[in-house]
Structure 1
Amino acid sequence: MLDENKRWFPEARYGLFIHWGPYAQYGRGEQVLFREHLDQADYEARARSWNPEFFDAKAWAKVAADGGFKYAVLTTRHHDSYALWDTKYSNYNSMQCAPKCDLVREYVEAFREAGLRVGLYYSWADWTSKAYWSNPDDDLDAWNKLRDMTHNQVEELLTNYGKIDVFWFDGTWPHPAARWDSSGLVKRMRELQPDILINNRLDAESPFTAAQGAVEFAGESKTMGDFGTPEHHITADNDRIWESCQTSTWRLWGYARGEHWRPAGLMLDYLCQASSQGGNLLLNVGPQPDGRIPAEFIDRSAKIGEWLKVHGEAIYGTTRGDITEFTTKGWQTLRGNSLYLIYRFWHGEECERIAELATPAKAATLLSTGQSLKVENRDDAIYIKGMPRVKPSSLFPVIRLDFGEPPKAKEWAKGRLWNLDPRLMQPWVNEIKSD
């Protein structure tokens, strides 16, 4: 059972991920230092001179608010170890390098002022550290120094910036939790910020190999952390709240020149799919090296924001809604006594049949226009009549079905075909006339 003061997270449903650091100068993603095995000294020199002249945290916050996001998560330190705040545990940071300012503080204050919840990302990995790339037992003093710096920097972030709502770890691999003492750090974090939500990337249970798969690769603990973090895919975590992180481009998280942008409809589809399965979407943007958010992202997120102004009740504060078969049309979400039908595909038919609901519907409303639609309950189905033939929304139209109680499905709709028990289909198959 989720604590009362943490329930805001699954109700928010939609967060903004911001991958930004000196790697943006290369325009080839957030991992360019390692992926291309760049010269460490050259990379550091360029990072120290990086000065995002157009960075404006309030402008970022406005993009987030206009896009309908409810919270944000900023990469305070990625795997290259450059810190976006005034840390006293390293001089490789935005205050002591060219920007001469605390970028984390500006972000936190601007987003909080805009009414958004604030999250911070921090990478365990440090690609500039010899200790990180070595067996800790070969030089325990060096390893302990790296681990202690990690703990100390996280404490700074949770001490100097007021209330932090979400903390997003990454990069435990290839070292297991015992080496990082991630459980000890989590305990300290909860002492500093009792209401904080911490993700599950806390435990590379053993040094990973490719055969171990995505869970170990991402360091996703099965026991620690408050929420799951499926990456590049939307898969429900049935044991806890969860959040799928997705890029707004085809692949890279940090700014990448020439990357293909996903259309607004696909980004919205991710949000609706995650919501229909009871999870959140953390949609990423990589700001440009000069600090501006790419126009392509602003355009797409604004379109989703406009859709949410009209249809947001089908997303915010909803629960998993996969009640009956709706794959040929779209997604479903639930809120109290209402079932929301989110149409990915508008068939243009005047009458819609929703099969195998045990609870009769009382009313139907086309949220896209505010129009009331006629409903009939008969033949083990709900019939919605008076639907417009022309698609009533440029993105996904939504119909709200209202019931006298939380709607429930009949047996077929509960199991359908995909639980691999064909006997469930026998009453339906028996309707077939014999050859």
Structure 2
Amino acid sequence: MNTATVERGGGDIHRLATHKAMLRLLPLMCAIYFLSFIDRTNVALAKTALATDLGISASAYGLGAGIFFLGYALLEIPSNLAAHRVGPRSWIARIAVTWGGLSTAMMFVQGELSFYTLRVLLGIAEAGLFPALMYLVTLWFAPKDRAVAVGWIYTAPSIALIVGNPLGAGLMQLGGVGGLKGWQWMFLLEGLPTIALGMVLFLKLPNRPSEVKWLSAEEAQALETQAVADTHGHAELTTSDWLAALKRPTTVLIALIYFLNQVAFVGLYFFTPSIVAQMHVKSPLLVGVLSSSVGVGFLLGVLTLPRIHRRVRNDCGLLGVLTGGVVISACAFMASRNQTTQIALLAVTGFFAGGILPSYWAVAMKRLQGVQAAAGLAFINTIGLLGGFAGPYLFGLAETLTGRSDSGFKFIVGASVLGLLLIPLLAKAIRAAERPIPGALEASRS
């Protein structure tokens, strides 16, 4: 048998194993991320009720919505290093159970102080979930498959934005049943399923290909071999090297660009129900349905753009085009006065601002592996979470100053333009990192 035949056979084994892994792992990963987004964003639907029942102002709501990300960011890197040490399965299950309990406890909010406190605790409990999922991707999937895998994971929050708003609005219609307000029923019935899923994950989510029986030994080996090799061909690194991941210019620049994206995108989806309500939509259920337009655009983006990315060699060129799309769609929204057009432009903005997310992670994962992936991906997510804090807070301040929720679109444009300016610097850093070190080739041959 010649070498080409062997390589072709090995490629077939890896493709089959990748297909099996996606079918087995991605539904579980999507399920937990779906619930995390439901539990994270249902507070947007409660905004008006919290103001009416508890006197929580728009600026206080914006601070409480964003402070979740501040609590999340505090423990992001330590949490993902713990996932590396104890295994993603146990750690993700622990995260799910604790945050599910705290999400349920949101039904006991009494005022601004308890609102802030529970939102901070909720962020701390959920810290490390997303980078742990991304770390799991680096253990199972080759670099060329990661954008698609992450794209599938991102269908979970996009679907949560589509169904979460109508679902939450429907649950709020239970107000008065059992002496509870509608928002209390929403927090209760959307928090308990997370605890149950955490228990399922502990039993069903594997850490590595070598642990499962549904892969042959050859398939498991093919997955692990392809997953641990990055573009430079390094083996998995030791714990003593993890700080190096945080010092790389590529890691820092991706984190800053992601921060600016999250200022724009998180601010958008937390305030979309308020933006729609100010279009003179009176029915809470209709507000929920129309608000799902951002989720529809987000879903279309994460289903189509990663597949385009798989065929594009210029990572930064694609990031620039997609970021430019955010700028154009946001400017078009501000210029439009037609409500139907504005709803459509909410979807288009969600398409670009959300659909770009798998590409950020695919670019980062190409340059991180092992414990460096655990630390570096957590660092990027930490910086992004600070953007997730800043976005709703800035949107809340803008609404307080102007009286209009859609005034926050100026921050979408500003943050996206800054991100666009950073992308050429990222391209330069990537080229520098991939440039051969003089004398290294000769040394490796000697």
Normalised to the residue count of structure 2, the TM-score between the two structures is 0.24
Structure with greater strand share of residues: 1
Larger Rg: 1
Structure with greater helix share of residues: 2
Normalised to the residue count of structure 1, the TM-score between the two structures is 0.25
